[in-house]
Amino acid sequence: MPTISRFYGILIQMFYDEKHSPHFHALYAEYKASIEIKTGKIVVGKLPRNAQRLVLAWAKIHRDELLNNWERARREEPLKDIAPLE
């Protein structure tokens, strides 16, 4: 699964899955979560509270870029890196 961003030990990854709404995956230590792009809702898994707060803040800032990457993945095009949270 391609990593599109990384910050504070958190990896953000994405691949296209036609069965689910647009989402991305956040990995932090032993934690994993799938997060809907449009709502910011964790649909599978969990993250520690602080990591979840950082991921959701990042996703809100980069929502358009995430949706663009989702479309690129749907078309089987390479994904673009997204700037980390600073």
Q: In the predicted model, what is the mean pLDDT of residues 35-55? A: 97
Task: List, in order, residues 6 or more apart from 33 with CB less than 8 Å away.
Answer: 25, 26, 42, 44, 45, 46, 47, 52, 55
Q: In the predicted model, what is the mean pLDDT of residues 70-79? A: 94
Share of the chain above pLDDT 90, in %: 91
Query: Which DSSP string do the residues of 34-74 spell out, in sequence order?
Result: EEETTT--EEEEE--HHHHHHHHHHHHHTHHHHHHHHHHHH
Q: In the predicted model, what is the mean pLDDT of residues 24-37? A: 97
Amino acid residing at 26: A
